[in-house]
Every structure is written in C-alpha cells, then in structure tokens.
Amino acid sequence: MAAGKPVLGFIEGAATDVIKEADCGYTVNPDDIDGLVDLIQNKLVQNSHQLPLLGSNGKTYFDTYFTKQKCINNLIAAMDTLN
C-alpha cells in the first residue's frame, strides 16, 4: 500500500478487511488456490485498467492511517485511555 501498488493478498482476517476498506486490491483465502488462479485470470487481467486506481487508493489509505506519526499518535491516545 505504501508503494502505491495494487495489493493481491493471499490472506484472511484483519488484513483482508483493510484491503477491502481501502479498495486497494483483491484478497483470497490462503487455502483457496483455485480462487487465486481465478482472481488472477479474471479480475486482474480483465480489469487491468483499474490497477493504477487501486494502487492510488492504497497509498491514500496508508498515508491516512499507517504513517509512523499516525501510529505513534494512535498508541499515545490508546495509552491515555488507560489512565
């Protein structure tokens, strides 16, 4: 995401949620090899014109939520709630 490239995730869980929320790529469950092949053959190849937009979406999301300063600020805010 930080590189501004579309994401192809062979993952599940929270990472999948972030990729969907950011609208920056596609995911498939780690045990779904046929799904990965289908994803590459159908979505990536047939929608290759959308790849730059997905990359841009990922970069924007990263800059909004995952920069070093944002992470530090979130950590400080979380620690402040413990007091």
What is this structure's pTM?
Answer: 0.82
Instruction: Answer yes or no: are the C-beta atoms of 23 and 50 closer than 8 Å.
Output: no
| pLDDT at residue 8 in the model | 94
C-alpha distances out from residue 64 to 23, 43, 48, 61, 69, Å: 14, 27, 25, 5, 10
Location of structure tokens 């929608």: 47
Q: How much is the pLDDT for 35?
A: 94
How would you class 3 by CB atoms within 10 Å of its CB: exposed for 0-12, middle for 13-18, buried for 19 or more? exposed
39-70, pLDDT tens digit by residue?
A: 999 988 998 999 999 999 999 999 999 889 98
pLDDT tens per residue, range 7-44: 999 999 999 999 999 999 999 999 999 999 999 999 88
